[in-house]
Amino acid sequence: MLAGGDSLEDLKGLHISSLDGEKEQQNADDDLNGYEDADDEYDDKELEFVTLGFVEEPKSRWALLRQLFPSKAGGVPAWLDPINLPSGNSCLCDICGEPLQFLLQVYAPISEKEFTFHRMLYVFLCPSMTCLLQDQHEQWKRGPEKPSRSVKVFRCQLSLINSFYSSEPPRCDGSDKALGTEAPLCTWCGAWKGDKVCSSCRSARYCSEKHQVMHWRSGHKVECAQIAVSSLSYEPSLPNGASLVNMRKVASKSIWPEFAIIIEDECEFDREVSNADNHANLLVSREQMDETVESLLHNFEGNDERKSWATFQECVAKAPEQVLRYCRNAGSGDSEPLWPASSGRLSKADIPRCGYCGGAMCFEFQILPQLLYYFRVKNDVDSLDWATIVVYTCAASCEASLAYKEEFAWVQHSS
């Protein structure tokens, strides 16, 4: 398996293309109740090259630093461009106005283009299920009406020669250095730029007034008075290229636990699943994930939903611990997500155009609900939940003046 700290050549294997092949013969006796065309569109998943993502504890404290170009989930983002971060309303949930929480990032370079030698995709969302449910309605809106989103995706890309990293492949031994400086991050969330400073200690920084208030109430009121000027000049030994402000422990206790995302080709897990009735049991029998997945199954009613769920289960059962499925094939546009349900699918006609170049967008990866298990999210009625989060990006991975370009996320709920 490939970890976030493996060689650059290994990580660039995320560029996937599809195989040619014949579609499976459909069973004419199936009652598809109006969803025949939609189901035909997604029956050929096994003929595509799919890369699976799994989470594991980082092997060292430097393995997830930005100069290693990590794919990771939870914790804080490792910003590819550490200076020109998203700002303003881009950092906020458009529904409740709170700062978004970091979910995961995927290192996905495109080797055919010079300006995408390094390429990272970041997913943020509001942890409020109320906002996520509202997002389900907002995501259908198209211009000129601007949707209010609680899930946002950002794309950042760099050429081999840039101001932030060496042109040499990382050694992954703890000695790799990031070049230049980086923007100070919020002391509370560790995700967004800390452009507001505590007026008393001049040490703590915040991305928003909300996070400053939360930090003050959680104990900074006492800490602030105890900070001595002499302590600010003390910098403990840190991995090369890391700054104290971005390595220190984030104050918030509500960020999700941090994992490295390791990748593996789905074909490595190819095996027969003989009995469709056992799909749910196969998926939930490993790693105690039964509550997370079974809760989705109970929400799917009717033959069409059950058929979609069975297809989803058949694929996912090959590697039940997968949290991410990556399959970008921008050239042909044939890559499609694996939909758990018939309802709430995004058709090709409904995929928006790139907001920067006006070109087509393509499916790149999807996030599975198994990630919630690793984040220790409770399975309560009002807890955060989704059937899948599908990420679409500019097929041309276009250049623009912004360092971080916002892409499109589609959330499919289980009910």
Q: Tell me which DSSP letter residue 178 carries.
A: -
What is the Cα 309 distance to its own chain's centre? 22
Strand 101-107 and strand 118-125: pairing? antiparallel
Task: Specify the pLDDT at position 279.
Answer: 42
How far is 170 from 157, CA to CA, in rounded Å?
Answer: 17
| pLDDT, tens only, 112-152 | 999 999 999 999 999 999 999 999 899 998 877 789 999 99
Question: Which amino acid is present at 269?
Answer: F
Whether 340 has a pLDDT exceeding 60, the answer reads yes
Task: Specify the pLDDT at position 331.
Answer: 65
How far is 139 from 351, CA to CA, in rounded Å?
Answer: 10
| pLDDT, tens only, 65-98 | 999 999 999 999 999 999 999 999 999 999 999 9
Whether 188 has a pLDDT exceeding 70, the answer reads yes
Whether 323 has a pLDDT exceeding 90, the answer reads yes
Reading phi first (left if > 0) and then psi (alpha if -120 to 50, else beta), residue 34 is in left
Locus of tokens 């000027």 = 229
Among 158-162, 271-275, 294-298, which range has the highest average pLDDT? 158-162
How far is 242 from 347, CA to CA, in rounded Å?
Answer: 43
In this structure, are residues 78 and 64 in contact, taking their beta carbons and an 8 Å threshold?
yes
Whether 308 has a pLDDT exceeding 80, the answer reads yes
